[in-house]
Amino acid sequence: MFDTLVRPYLAIFAARFLTLLQYRAAAFAGIVTQFWFGAIMVMALSAFYADGRGSPSISLAEAITYIWLGQAFLGLLPWNVDPEIALMMRTGNVAYERLRPVDTYFYWFARALAWRAAVTLLRSIPILIVTSAVFAFVGLGAWSLRPPSSSESLALFVLSMTAVVHLSAAMTTLLNISVVWTISGQGINVITNSLVLILSGMVIPLPLFPEWAQPVLFVQPLAGLVDIPYRIYFANLSGREALGGIALQICWTMVFIVLGHLLMAHTMRRIQIQGG
């Protein structure tokens, strides 16, 4: 049972994960950039909040926490196509994927999961440590990442983040499959990146958008990548609302998995017709 259902996917997960952990140098450069961008956003937001107008639904401290969490977990966003897969598409080796005695969709899903998790692990830990403990230590407490509201929020946060990883993997896999269909060989991520950025809450925290937009912003799938888990973290969403948020994440994950699975079957047929 373990052998058929889990083992092959676990194997590819582990392999990919370990490979990616080796990209340390790139991670460092990326982290410095992220600190910079985060700092600018924090400064700008502080200036906006300073006048006391606008009655925002989250405080400045919460908004700052939101921003730093966003930078720390940036790797989880369904940002770009897995370069390994793009290469496979170009060289035509993608046909070999069908030779493996596994469900191709879930094989790719496991791959995406590993990729997102590894990239995030490298970057998140330094950013989390520096923006919380170090900042407070050197007197930048006003700009620091605040601790979670309670142990309950922390527990729910961890649950929600687990959902994020799966949601992101499902979206990423969909993007990877789409590479077959685009003419230029790049994924549609060139277009979707902008949508992901703004609708997840990475450009500005979703609660800061106009009130009339809030209901729509909450239920759309991308909110589950950033907005929902971070609001759970500082208890903006708590108790039943938090569970509701997590349920939304899980629902959207299912939707993307089903869509991806269907598209995969269709796509593989197309590749066979084209001759890989």
Partner 1 sequence: MGAVRLYGRYAAASIKAQMQYPASFVLLSLGQFLSTVVEFIGVWALFSRFQSLGNWTLAQVALFYGTVNIAFALADMISRGFDVFGPQFVRTGDFDRLLLRPRATALQLLGYELRLTRLGRFLQGVLVLAIAVGLLDLSWGAREVALLLSAIAGGVALFVGLVVLQATLAFWTVESLEVANTLTYGGVTAAQYPIEIYSKWLREFFTFVVPLSCVAYFPIVGILGIDDPLGASRWFLWVSPLFGFVFLGISLMTWRVGERHYTSTGN
Contacts to partner 1 by CB under 8 A: 26, 29-30, 32-33, 36-37, 40, 43-45, 47-51, 53-54, 56, 182-184, 186, 190-191, 193-195, 197-198, 203-204, 208-210
Q: Which is nearer to partner 1, 33 or 59 (CB)?
A: 33
Residue number, 222 or 246, with CB nearest to partner 1: 222
CB of 192 to partner 1, least distance (A): 9
Question: Of 28 and 96, which CB lies nearer to partner 1 in the complex structure?
Answer: 28
CA dist 186 → 176, 178, 183, 195, 228 (Å): 10, 9, 8, 17, 30
* Other CB atoms within 10 A of residue 135 CB: 18
- Report DSSP state, residue 145: P
Asked if 38 and 131 touch (Cβ cutoff 8 Å), the reply is yes
Q: How far is the CB of 174 from partner 1 (least distance, A)?
A: 17
Q: Least distance (Å) from partner 1 to the CB of residue 24?
A: 13
* CB neighbours of residue 54 within 10 Å: 8
Q: How far apart are CA 16 and CA 113, in angstroms?
A: 9
| DSSP structural state of residue 150 | -
Torsions phi, psi of 272, nearest 5?
-65, -35
Q: Which residue, 45 or 246, has its beta carbon nearer to partner 1? A: 45
Q: Give the span between the Cα atoms of 192 and 194, in whole angstroms.
A: 5
Q: Which two tokens stand for residue 76?
A: 């989880």
* SS3 state at 110: helix
* Number of residues that this document lists for the chain: 276
Nearer to partner 1, 195 or 255 (CB): 195
Q: Indicate the residue among 3 and 51 with the shorter CB distance to partner 1.
A: 51
Minimal distance, residue 181 CB to partner 1, in Å: 13
How near is the Cβ of 274 to partner 1 at its closest, in Å? 18
Shortest CB 260 distance to partner 1, Å: 22
CB of 40 to partner 1, least distance (A): 5
Q: What is the sign, positive or negative, of the torsion defined by CA atoms of 248, 252, 254, 255?
A: positive
- Rank residues 197 and 263 by Cβ distance to partner 1 and give the closer one: 197
